[in-house]
Amino acid sequence: MTGTGKLIRLILRRDRFLLPLWVLVIGLLPSAYISSFEGLFPTDPERLQYAQVSADNAGFVALYGLLHGDSFAVLTNWRSGFVPVMIGLFALLTVVRHTRTDEEAGRTELIGATVVGRQAQLAAALLTTAVAGLVLGLVTFAVMAGPSGSVSGSLAFGAEFAASAWIFAAVAAITTQLTSSARTARSIAIVALGAAYALRVGGDISALGDGNLSWLSWVSPLGWVTHIFPYGAVNWWPVVLAVLFSAAATGVAVVLLGRRDLGAGLLAARLGRATAAPSLRSPLALAWRLHRGLMIGWTVGLALLGLIFGGVGGSVVDLAKDNKSLTDIFARLGGSTQLVDSYFAGTAGMVGLIAACYAVQATLRLRDEEQTGHAEAILATAASRYAWAGSHLLFSLIGPALALFAEGLVAGLVYPGGDLADILAGTMLQLPAVWVLAAVAVLLFGLLPRWSLVAWAAPAICLLVLLVGETLQLDQRLLDVSPFTHVPRLPGGEVTMTPLVTLTLLAMLLTAAGLGGLRRRNIPD
């Protein structure tokens, strides 16, 4: 553990912008929610009606969790139900970045040769992330204690956020011990986060219906933290559970760390082929080798999401049948099928955004390849820059299409009463918007390569528009920034070609500009 303090200072120096940014933005998010709720529902009946409808809406429950109560504070906490996923993601990325990424790059070796203990690096990364989570929780506590009128409730709210960071920091501590590659460590941790989310959704949706599977929420750490209910019953013991889990997972990580060599992973490397298959002879064949794992992973992941969303669709109809007030509301809007329609159209938008993350990730592989020196090796052969970049871009084009298709198909198939063609089409319509986000990444990569990672801001902005846009009643011009705002909503809506064609043309234009820049610039830059 010697040298942990110095390493913490190093992490704080390297993350001096990023870390305060996410801690503050996420920590302050609940105060934005509560003030927007106060603006939206000035009278009690309006608020109560919103709470009542939301509590039984399976789509909302899937996204935010269960709603027990109707005060502003309860609504704010419930509306923040997706935030633990974001906190978990940031926490695990931070831990992987300061452990395995450094180790893979050889920086750990450099530091390990100085007076630094064997566990110091892991300890520094975990401590920094844990304290960041704690500060985030304190920020939320500070901004909520006043408006909510409940100090203990706000404390529990802050604890919910802090615990989310601790849990997934500890999960990442384990996954970084498993393989020698940072990318694999990150992927395993993100899959764990996704699984936790899926289990939480499954359990909560079941709790809305017959409750047979509601125990699923308790298998998921994300289920624990969203079952604290800070301004209602206030369950403290999920917090205890989260702390115990984090401590245990950290212990496992330390044991694993002690059992492996520097640079190695626990999953041993096997011997492979001595010669290449005859087909491995073009940039495209290489790109397929580099992208196939990602493509299969995302397709399976989105198919599972389709299973959840499609399955939930059934309970939406059941609810509408059983729930008097809900039926009334949607009858006024035009009948119960519209409830299901708007549910599937809404989930299609979310799925589109998730597919866009895949598209950006696949596109940024180009930058990865450039920075690792792989691009130099390929471009010094008879492969042209266009052939190299194009073969990767083919996968950011068709990969998300395949993943979206899998989600739409599965969701349509498992939902008994729906129109498969409409549900599938509603999902596939997201594709032009997905391509626009991929094209933004191409543009940055070609023209401002050192700013390539800024491409992640595009899906982040779209997520923000999706999550807070309507609640905060943002100006339409701000909502229009997200290409997903322009996608026709299906099922239920009317499909117009203009936005689809415009988005596709925009994507083509941005890609062409990016490739033009790539042709002219230095490699590596």
Helices (H), 259-335: 283-322, 324-333
Q: Based on DSSP, count helices (H) and strands (E) in the chain, helices before strands.
A: 24, 0
| Terminal-residue alpha carbon distance, the chain | 38
Q: For 71, phi and psi rounded to 5 degrees? A: -75, 165
Among candidate residues 267, 259, 242, the one with its CA nearest the CA of residue 170: 242
Take residue 166 and report the two structure tokens written for it.
């601790």
Find the shortest distance in angstroms from Cβ 121 to another protein.
19
Q: How far is CA 501 from CA 90, 264, 359, 362, in A?
A: 35, 49, 19, 23
Residue 24, CA atoms < 13 Å, CB-side half-sphere = 6
* Helical packing angle, 182-208 and 151-178, nearest 10°: 140
On whether the CB atoms of residues 524 and 375 are closer than 8 A, the answer is: yes
Is 42 among the residues that bind another protein (CB under 8 A)? no
Which of the stretches 123-131, 207-215, 284-292, 504-512 binds another protein when contact is defined by CB under 8 A? 284-292
Find the shortest distance in angstroms from Cβ 224 to another protein.
35
Which of the stretches 122-130, 204-212, 272-280, 496-504 binds another protein when contact is defined by CB under 8 A? 272-280
Is 281 among the residues that bind another protein (CB under 8 A)? yes
Is 417 among the residues that bind another protein (CB under 8 A)? no
Say which DSSP state 180 is in.
Answer: S
SS3 breakdown of the chain: % helix, strand, coil, rounded to 5?
A: 80, 0, 20
Among candidate residues 60, 6, 4, the one with its CA nearest the CA of residue 342: 60
| Residue of the chain from 48, 149, 251, 282 that contacts another protein (CB under 8 A) | 282
Nearer to another protein, 290 or 461 (CB): 290
Nearer to another protein, 288 or 456 (CB): 288
Rounded to whole angstroms, how far apart are CA atoms 498 and 475? Answer: 22
Footprint of another protein on residues 373-412 (CB under 8 A)? 373-374, 376-384
Footprint of another protein on residues 169-208 (CB under 8 A)? 180-181
Q: What angle do CA 367, 369, 182 make, to 5 degrees?
A: 95
Q: How far is CA 79 from CA 136, 137, 163, 289, 313, in A?
A: 17, 16, 18, 41, 21
Is 275 among the residues that bind another protein (CB under 8 A)? yes
| Residue of the chain from 142, 447, 457, 523 that contacts another protein (CB under 8 A) | 523
Is 286 among the residues that bind another protein (CB under 8 A)? yes
Find the shortest distance in angstroms from Cβ 300 to another protein.
18
Find the shortest distance in angstroms from Cβ 66 to another protein.
42
Burial label for 42, CB within 10 Å (0-12, 13-18, 19+), is: exposed
Find the shortest distance in angstroms from Cβ 478 to another protein.
36
Nearer to another protein, 331 or 377 (CB): 377
Which of the stretches 37-45, 187-195, 222-230, 263-271 binds another protein when contact is defined by CB under 8 A? 263-271
Which of the stretches 37-45, 286-294, 327-335, 494-502 binds another protein when contact is defined by CB under 8 A? 286-294
Nearer to another protein, 13 or 270 (CB): 270
Is 290 among the residues that bind another protein (CB under 8 A)? yes
Rounded to whole angstroms, how far apart are CA atoms 79 and 142? Answer: 18
For residues 324 to 363, the per-residue mask of contacts with another protein, x marking binding by CB under 8 A and - elsewhere, is ----------------------------------------
For residues 291 to 320, the per-residue mask of contacts with another protein, x marking binding by CB under 8 A and - elsewhere, is --x---------------------------
Interface with another protein: number of residues (CB under 8 A): 36
Nearer to another protein, 270 or 477 (CB): 270
Is 140 among the residues that bind another protein (CB under 8 A)? no
Where does this chain bind another protein (CB under 8 A)? Answer: 180-181, 269-277, 280-283, 285-286, 289-290, 293, 372-374, 376-384, 520, 522-524
